[in-house]
């Protein structure tokens, strides 16, 4: 790690290339609008302004992130610091899921019957989740293959494998959505009981992480099509790869704790 | 050397770590001022006997809620990690900026956004009145606008996580050649430890308040015992972060005290390695104490005893640090400058708070004093007064480096003596009230204890005056102070080897480090 730091300075790279950037402020404003959109609907019962504000917030956030990333890819050199940063960030994410799983176990352990008797028959299902496991695990392998191809400068193959990963990720999300839809039809919702509450919470948090991964992959794919990514600018792909593997590991925990432990045959 | 752009837009669009640090400092000082103002309101309320008070009970709840949130979340943590972290880390490790300058700016804007929401919590209907802890079921079943609380925590959390990822990445990857781990300033180690706690702790707090949001607005039952949930789950998740949050404040403070004491004793810091180990032990052990907030909440006995041990054990590395500071002072050639006075004041206040903390951590004593004025007195000594005092001292110390001007020493010393005299007495009566079992957070103080509270109130005014004088001193000296030389304190640390104020690009040439930061007393101590 130390060598890397020395390379940053010693290589004569001006790390701090830019003096001014308005994009952080734009993203900050967008993020500040989200709470107000939420409160407009839930606290002040003004649904239309709430939806309007949410739209504005999303737009501002998208503009901010787009401006930010285009600034990155227009002039800066890739010195690979994000690889360290993403590992630290993943530790943070691990703590988040640790808290959620901790809460789930905290509620489950004192119970004699889990899930509670109020949970409808046939919940949790196991067939579809197992299929989704296969999909997600394979996508970890395909993104690794994409990384290798980028290292070897095989751009065509890299884009192919990344596209494949992206499709697997979207398939996973569709499968999860289908499962939620069926369960809600069966009358199993967040308000059913403790199990329902935690079921949707944890699968939902995990699903949102898959969504972030898919968006990142889509973004890299666009970079790939426009030729802005190559073997010397591969940090974003590596970082996304680490993140994707992490989401994969979390899924294994979701599968075992949320689906297999309460499974009633 | 690059030209420094100027004008207002260089502050709004800046990505320079020193400017962002100053933005953090200004915002944090505004919240410090708000917190002091609310403290004055509460203290004045306590002057009068029951019945003639000018606050009603509901307003009193709002005032102590916002006072706590403003002081802990918007003053102490941001000033220590946001201001000192941003200002010191690149300068001390020999880098030109943090690893992700834009992300750094975003951290600040998140923090400011959270601050705006918190102020709205004081002003908008549905004012936050459930204490800074936000315990359910109170925060779920009343008409309070809990969303304000939750989103303030979310934005602040996003700010802290982004900031901490940034600082740790900077320390790991961007140290100048020769800046080995053993040559880092203790302030860098302290900020590193605090950032690690932020990384692990904040997501859990964010999860806790997110579930609160879901319970209140989306009909889930995480904390609803009648539906199989558990309100205690919130307390566990909350204190998993909120207790280590004390160390988020304390670890940078410990580092800064070491810098000041070593510099003004003209001696190398005593026991550098043990200081670093102590910081890291506190970082880890900090996560094994939170149950002591739940001793009387029906927690299982094995957990209470286990966490009691953790609570007491954490006194050991803390004690090592205090003894090391005293050993550094021993036979040093001490100069009682304003920063040094603040560091010594910190040690005395912190020791009072620390020793009562050990007592408080003992299960038997806590059952008696839990949720009484004892606890209020304890954490005001250990956290609020001592660490605010040191944060002020740290600002005095590095003031020349980020403004290029000297602070008024005379005004600084007057402010220090007012603060320390007020602080030593302001909360002392509350220990007695606590032992007698007077509960905290009550609007009315029993008549037989009103006299004690009045003494506390009067001395708290003195302390608050001291703090305000320091803030005035900063404002005044930033405009009218004498021009500062590059190294007014004759420090050996890296940040003092460049001009004051630190130039735009920090280092003309990235320095090559050959020595640690505390090499005092050598005939020809070289510093690159």
Residue A238 within any structural domain of the chain: yes
The residue of chain A with its CA nearest to that of B102 is A24
Q: Is residue B228 part of a domain?
A: yes
Query: What value does the mean pLDDT take over residues B359-364?
Result: 93
The answer to whether residues A117 and A207 belong to one domain is yes
Where residue A111 falls among pLDDT bands split at 50, 70, 90? confident
* B67 domain residue, yes or no: yes
CB atoms within 10 A of CB B490: 12
> In this structure, are A119 and A207 located in the same domain?
yes
Do residues A44 and A144 share a domain? no
Residues A126 and A194 in one domain: yes
Domain shared by A153 and A211, yes or no:
yes
- Mean pLDDT of all residues in chain A? 88
Q: Per-residue DSSP letters for B3-36?
A: PPP-STHHHHSB--HHHHHHHHHHHHHHHHHHHH
* Dist. CA A231–CA B476, nearest whole Å: 54
Q: Band of the pLDDT at A9, cuts 50, 70, 90?
A: very low
User: Could you give the number of structural domains in chain B?
Assistant: 1
**What digits encode the pLDDT tens for the residues B429-459?**
999 999 999 999 888 888 889 899 999 999 9
- Picking from B258, B264, B261, B306, the residue whose alpha carbon sits closest to that of residue B279 is B258
Q: What is the DSSP secondary structure assignment for residue B75, as one 8-state letter? A: I
Residues of B in contact with A194 (CB under 8 A): 221, 227-229
- The CATH number of residue B44's host domain is 1.20.210.10
Q: What is the pLDDT of residue B90?
A: 95
Between A5-9, A244-248, B473-477, the lowest mean confidence (pLDDT) is in A5-9
Query: Of B10-19, B39-48, B464-473, which one has max mean pLDDT?
Result: B464-473
Per the prediction, chain B carries an average pLDDT of: 92
Q: What angle do CA A173, A175, A177 make, to 5 degrees?
A: 70
For A92, the closest of B155, B161, B222 (CB atoms) is B161
Please tell me the predicted confidence (pLDDT) of residue A13.
41
Share of chain B above pLDDT 90, in %: 81
pLDDT of A5: 38
Question: Domain for residue A118, yes or no?
Answer: yes
pLDDT at B210 exceeding the cut of 60: yes
A2 assigned to some structural domain = no
Contact A38 B15 (CB under 8 A): no
Set of chain A residues whose Cβ sits within 8 Å of the Cβ of B109: 24-25, 27-29, 31
Looking at the structure, do residues A240 and A158 belong to the same domain, yes or no?
A: yes
- Dihedral sign for Cα B132, B137, B141, B147, please: positive
A interface test, pick of B5, B11, B175, B228 with most A CB neighbours within 10 Å:
B228
Q: Domain holding A116: CATH number?
A: 1.20.120.80
Judge: B172–A29 Cβ closer than 8 Å, yes or no. no
How much is the average pLDDT of B353-382? 94
Contacts of B236 in chain A (CB under 8 A): 102, 106
∠B515-B517-B520 over CA atoms, to 5°? Answer: 90
Cis bond upstream, residue B137 (ω within 30):
yes
CB pairs under 8 A between A and B: 191
Q: Tens digits of per-residue pLDDT, B246-257? A: 999 999 999 999
Same domain? For A135 and A261 the reply is yes
**Does residue B241 carry a pLDDT above 50?**
yes
**pLDDT at residue A75 in the model:** 65
**What is the band of B177 on the pLDDT scale with cuts at 50, 70, 90?**
very high
- A146 domain-assigned: yes
| Res B524: pLDDT | 53
Does residue A18 surpass a pLDDT of 80? no
When CB atoms are compared, the residue of B12, B96, B221 closest to A197 is B221
Mean pLDDT in residue range B315-321: 95
Give the pLDDT of residue B380: 96
- In this predicted structure, the answer to whether residue A109 has a pLDDT above a threshold of 50 is yes
**A85 vs B100, B228, B236: nearest CB:** B100
- Of A77, A112, A132, the residue that ends a domain is A77
C-alpha B127, offset from chain centre = 25
A18 lies in a domain?
Answer: yes
Q: Classify B228 as helix, strand or coil.
A: coil
**Mean pLDDT confidence for A56-70:** 92
A198 within a domain of the structure (yes/no) = yes
User: Which residue range(s) make up the domain with A235?
Assistant: 79-265
My answer on whether A117 and A58 are in the same domain is no
Query: Given this model, what pLDDT does residue A4 score?
Result: 39
Any idea which of B2-11, B97-106, B402-411, B464-473 has the lowest mean pLDDT? B2-11
- Residue B6 counted as domain residue: no
What is the domain extent for residue B260?
19-497
Nearest to B117 among A1, A29, A35 (CB): A35
| pLDDT tens string B63-114 | 999 999 999 999 999 999 999 999 999 999 999 999 999 999 999 999 999 9
Nearest CA in chain A to B151: A35
Report the distance separating Cα B200 and Cα A247, nearest Å. Answer: 17
Is A165 inside any structural domain? yes
Please tell me whether residues A73 and A152 are part of one structural domain: no
A77-107 pLDDT tens trace: 677 788 899 999 999 999 999 999 999 999 8
Q: pLDDT tens-digit profile of B496-506? A: 999 989 988 88
Residues of A with CB below 8 A from B203's CB?
92-93, 95-96, 99
Query: Quick check: B172 pLDDT over 90?
Result: yes
Q: Is the pLDDT of residue B125 over 90?
A: no
Domain membership of residue B342 (yes or no) is yes
Predicted confidence band at A7 (pLDDT cuts at 50, 70, 90)? very low
DSSP state of B448: G
Residue at a domain's end among A21, A55, A77: A77
On whether both A69 and A171 belong to a single domain, the answer is no
DSSP string, A81-94: HHHHHHHHHHHHHH
The verdict on a CB contact (< 8 Å) between A85 and B99 is yes
Three-state DSSP state, B330: coil
Q: Which residues of A touch B207 (CB under 8 A)?
A: 96, 99-100, 103
- Res. B51 pLDDT band, cuts 50 70 90: low
Q: What is the mean pLDDT of residues B226-236?
A: 88
Taking Cα atoms as reference points, which of A132, A131, A150 lies closest to residue A240? A150
Domain assignment present for residue A1? The answer is no
**DSSP helix/strand/coil, A60:** helix
Q: Do A107 and A234 fall into the same domain?
A: yes
Please count the structural domains in chain A.
2
Q: Is residue A264 over pLDDT 90? A: no
Instruction: Identify the domain boundary among A46, A77, A108.
Output: A77
Q: Search chain B and give the residue with CA nearest A197.
A: B220
Structure tokens at A224: 């790939």
Phi-psi region of B28 (alpha: psi -120 to 50; beta: other; left: phi over 0): alpha
Same domain flag for A210 and A125: yes
Average pLDDT over every residue of B199-209: 95
């Amino acid at each position: 790690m130390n060598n890397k730091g020395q390379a940053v300075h010693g290589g004569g790279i001006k790390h701090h290339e830019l003096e001014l950037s308005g994009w952080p402020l734009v993203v900050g404003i967008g993020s500040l609008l989200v709470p107000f959109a939420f409160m407009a609907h839930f606290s002040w019962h003004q649904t239309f302004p709430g939806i309007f504000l949410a739209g504005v917030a999303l737009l501002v956030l998208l503009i901010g992130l787009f401006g930010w990333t285009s600034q990155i890819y227009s002039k800066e050199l890739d010195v690979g610091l994000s690889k360290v940063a993403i590992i630290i960030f993943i530790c943070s994410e691990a703590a988040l899921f640790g808290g959620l799983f901790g809460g789930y176990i905290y509620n489950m352990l004192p119970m004699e019957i889990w899930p509670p008797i109020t949970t409808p028959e046939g919940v949790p299902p196991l067939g579809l989740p197992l299929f989704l496991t296969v999909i997600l695990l394979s996508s970890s392998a395909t993104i690794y293959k994409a990384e290798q191809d980028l290292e070897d400068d095989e751009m065509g193959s890299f884009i192919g494998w990344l596209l494949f990963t992206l499709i697997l990720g979207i398939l996973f999300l569709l499968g999860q959505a289908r499962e939620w839809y069926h369960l809600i039809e069966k009358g199993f919702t967040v308000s059913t009981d403790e199990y329902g509450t935690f079921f949707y919470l944890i699968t939902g948090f995990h699903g949102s992480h898959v969504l972030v991964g898919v968006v990142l992959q889509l973004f890299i794919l666009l970079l790939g099509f426009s030729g802005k990514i190559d073997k010397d600018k591969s940090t974003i792909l590596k970082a996304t790869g680490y993140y994707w593997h992490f989401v994969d590991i979390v899924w294994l925990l979701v599968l075992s704790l949320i689906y297999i432990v309460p499974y009633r045959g | 050397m690059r030209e420094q752009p100027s004008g207002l837009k260089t502050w709004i669009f800046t990505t320079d770590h020193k400017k962002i640090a100053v933005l953090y400092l200004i915002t944090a000082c505004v919240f410090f001022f708000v917190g002091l103002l609310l403290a004055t309101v509460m203290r004045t309320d306590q002057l009068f006997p029951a019945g003639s008070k000018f606050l009603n009970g509901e307003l009193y709840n709002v005032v102590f809620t916002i006072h706590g949130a403003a002081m802990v979340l918007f003053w102490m943590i941001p000033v220590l990690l946001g201001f000192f972290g941003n200002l010191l880390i690149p300068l001390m490790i020999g880098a030109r900026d943090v690893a992700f300058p834009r992300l750094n700016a975003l951290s600040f804007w998140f923090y400011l956004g959270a601050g705006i929401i918190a102020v709205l919590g004081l002003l908008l209907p549905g004012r936050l009145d459930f204490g800074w802890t936000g315990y359910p079921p109170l925060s779920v079943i009343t008409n309070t606008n809990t969303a304000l609380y939750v989103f303030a925590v979310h934005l602040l959390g996003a700010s802290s996580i982004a900031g901490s990822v940034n600082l740790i990445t900077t320390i790991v990857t961007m140290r100048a050649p020769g800046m080995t781990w053993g040559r880092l300033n203790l302030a860098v180690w302290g900020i590193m430890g605090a950032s690690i706690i932020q990384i692990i702790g904040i997501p859990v707090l964010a999860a806790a308040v997110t579930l609160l949001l879901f319970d209140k607005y989306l009909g889930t039952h995480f904390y609803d015992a009648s539906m199989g949930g558990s309100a205690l789950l919130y307390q566990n998740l909350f204190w998993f972060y909120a207790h280590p949050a004390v160390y988020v404040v304390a670890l940078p403070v410990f580092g800064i005290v070491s810098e000041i004491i070593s510099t003004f004793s003209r001696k190398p810091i005593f026991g550098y390695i043990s200081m670093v180990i102590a910081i890291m032990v506190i970082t880890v052990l900090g996560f094994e104490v939170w149950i002591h907030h739940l001793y009387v909440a029906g927690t299982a006995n094995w957990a209470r005893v286990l966490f009691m041990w953790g609570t007491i054990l954490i006194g050991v590395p803390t004690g090592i640090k205090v003894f090391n500071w005293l050993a550094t002072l021993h036979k040093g050639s001490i100069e009682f400058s304003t920063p040094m006075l603040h560091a010594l004041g910190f040690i005395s206040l912190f020791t009072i708070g620390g020793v009562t903390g050990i007592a408080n951590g003992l299960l038997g004593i806590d059952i008696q004093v839990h949720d009484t004025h004892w606890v209020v007195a304890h954490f005001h000594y250990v956290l609020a007064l001592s660490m605010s005092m040191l944060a002020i001292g740290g600002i005095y110390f590095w003031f020349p480096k980020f403004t290029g001007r000297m602070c008024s020493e005379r005004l600084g010393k007057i402010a220090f003596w007012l603060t320390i005299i007020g602080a030593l007495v302001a909360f002392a009566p509350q220990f007695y009230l606590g032992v007698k079992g007077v509960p905290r957070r009550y609007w009315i103080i029993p008549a037989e204890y009103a006299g004690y509270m009045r003494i506390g109130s009067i001395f708290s005014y003195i302390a608050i005056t001291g703090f305000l004088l320091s803030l005035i001193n900063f404002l005044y000296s930033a405009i009218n102070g004498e021009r500062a030389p590059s190294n007014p304190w004759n420090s050996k640390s890296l940040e003092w080897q460049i001009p004051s104020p630190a130039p735009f690009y920090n280092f003309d040439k990235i320095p090559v480090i050959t020595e640690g930061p505390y090499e005092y007393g050598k005939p020809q101590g070289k510093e690159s």
